[in-house]
């Protein structure tokens, strides 16, 4: 860790670059899928765009640098514009985390290509180290974003999926949960003993995901 930051100062430029790319694609995935399914709300707000400036949230980005997690600006979605509001709502919500999983898979594929064909050997030492650092951060951060956003606590994607899945009779119970969710979440994140037995083990599932994603890549490349 680099003092107050979750990441080392030496890797910060790579982290910022990866965050900009990953947050932008995550939010674009929400906005684009909503637009294609019949809701133009995000389009009207200029969110169906790959321009990072319309998606990044200053506080959410700062939190990721400090605590290792964060968020971008939520994409406005009017589920009333969908033919099947709950089903399409789930699809739109899931599109964000899935985009991070796809980015992680693409990154793993690129890493495998570098290993198979020895592309790093043709680079200078500095360039090779920079490429390795970028790919490493691209993989780890996107896996973290994928897992983190699936946590069923508002305003994360996992909670919005739960809202669309549960019976409407439980709406009032969910609203009561929302009042305490942010407090519980902050305790889990910043109270180290709690984080060590909850959030950290959950995020460590990224290693298992890497092993699963690597299998088709190994088969495709014949490694």
Q: Are 161 and 90 contacting, i.e. CB atoms less than 8 angstroms apart?
A: yes
Can the peptide bond before residue 200 be classed as cis, meaning omega within 30 degrees of 0? no
Which tokens is 135 given?
Answer: 């790919």
Q: Are 184 and 177 contacting, i.e. CB atoms less than 8 angstroms apart?
A: no
Radius of gyration from C-alpha coordinates of the chain? 19
Question: Is 27 known to be catalytic?
Answer: yes
Which 3 state secondary structure label does DSSP give 43? Answer: helix
Closest C-alpha among 157, 161, 156 to residue 189: 156
Cβ-proximal residues to 46 (8 Å cutoff; 6+ apart), any chain: 54
Which 3 state secondary structure label does DSSP give 76? Answer: coil
Handedness of CA 221, 101, 210, 9 (dihedral sign): positive
Which 3 state secondary structure label does DSSP give 73? Answer: coil
- Which one is catalytic: 27, 121, 129, 178? 27
Cβ-proximal residues to 19 (8 Å cutoff; 6+ apart), any chain: 61, 64, 70, 141
The residues annotated with a catalytic role in the active site are: 27
């Amino acid at each position: 860790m680099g003092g107050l930051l979750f990441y080392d100062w030496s890797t910060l430029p790579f982290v910022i670059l990866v965050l900009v790319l990953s947050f932008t694609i995550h939010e674009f995935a929400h906005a684009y899928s909503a637009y294609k399914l019949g809701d133009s709300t995000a389009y009207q707000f200029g969110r169906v765009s790959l321009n990072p400036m319309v998606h990044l949230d200053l506080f959410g980005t700062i939190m990721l640098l400090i605590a290792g997690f964060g968020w971008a600006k939520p994409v406005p979605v009017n589920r009333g514009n969908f033919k099947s509001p709950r089903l399409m709502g789930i699809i739109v919500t899931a599109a964000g985390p899935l985009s991070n999983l796809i980015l992680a898979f693409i990154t793993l594929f690129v890493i495998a290509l570098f290993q198979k064909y020895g592309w790093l050997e043709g680079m200078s030492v500095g360039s090779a180290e920079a490429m390795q650092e970028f790919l490493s951060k691209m993989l780890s951060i996107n896996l973290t974003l994928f897992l983190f956003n699936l946590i069923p606590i508002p305003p994360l994607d996992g909670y919005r999926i739960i809202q669309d899945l549960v019976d409407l009779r439980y709406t009032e119970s969910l609203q009561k949960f929302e009042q305490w969710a942010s407090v519980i979440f902050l305790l889990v994140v910043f109270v180290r003993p709690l984080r060590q037995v909850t959030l950290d083990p959950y995020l460590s599932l990224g290693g298992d995901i890497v092993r699963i994603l690597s299998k088709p890549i190994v088969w495709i490349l014949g490694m």
